[in-house]
Amino acid sequence: MLFEGLFVFELFLLYFLSHNVSMLFSRLLYRLTRNKKLTINLLALLLLPGTILHEIAHWLTAVVLFVPVGKISLWPKITSSGVVLGSVSMEKTDPVRRLLIGTAPVFIGVGIITGVIYFATKNNLLDNYWNILLLALIVFEIGNTMFSSKKDMEGVIELLLVVLLVGGVCYLLGLRIQISAIMAFLSQPLITAIFQKGSMYLLFPVIVDAIIILVLKIFHK
């Protein structure tokens, strides 16, 4: 369970680091431009490749789950709840499919990050500074745009209530999930190996964001 816990911890850490990166870049751009709208547009341009992947993940998952979708927006909009870098319009659906669509960029993003790093290390591509820079750029873009927004997580509360209700009924009927069975599944060699590799590769975007935050904070002083 060590690597499974480490993987989850790194994912949460990357989530908080990505928010700090966006905030510090916003401050830097505003400090240089003194223009709020220009700052938002420049930040959107900086994160555009990651935003494109994020919205494609929503769109593709919705199509696979047979949820009708509309147009994709890839440029920022200022709303009452903040700045939205991109969006995909789609019809309302059940909480389960809504949750899967909302969280799709996280799973696809982690998959691409680990896949790209695995490919680079497997083919000895990290002995070249340009390859390292390109890898860092890819990881930066995906790692800082893959997390779900409040809009993406609509329906989560309803789904949790349904799960709790069903779980409560199952518990009263004597249908209980054995924790030991879950632990045994997670302890299988294949599962452990997957999380071991994942935690190792996910460390790279964490380091990239930490370095960027350090540099930006030094610049702000």
Residues contacting residue 155 through CB under 8 Å, at least 6 positions apart: 94, 95, 98, 99, 102
pLDDT tens, residue by residue, 159-200:
677 777 777 777 677 766 666 655 665 567 766 777 777 788
Strand partners, 123: none
pLDDT, average across residues 55-59: 92
Q: What is the CA radius of gyration of the chain?
A: 20
Please count the helices (runs of H) and the strands (runs of E) in the chain: 8, 4
Number of separate domains in the chain: 1
Residue 55 pLDDT: 92
Q: Is the pLDDT of residue 149 over 70?
A: yes
Domain carrying residue 58: 2-220
pLDDT tens, residue by residue, 105-143:
988 998 898 888 888 888 888 788 888 888 888 989 998
Taking Cα atoms as reference points, which of 152, 153, 136, 142 lies closest to residue 207? 136
To the nearest 10°, the Cα dihedral for 212, 214, 216, 220? 180
Is the sign of the CA dihedral 185, 148, 202, 139 positive or negative?
positive
What's the chain's average pLDDT?
82
* pLDDT band (50, 70, 90) for residue 60: very high
Residue 34 pLDDT: 87
What separation in angstroms does the CA of 16 have from each of 20, 60, 84, 145, 210?
6, 26, 18, 12, 11
Two tokens, residue 185: 């599944």
87 within 8 A of 77, measured Cβ to Cβ: yes
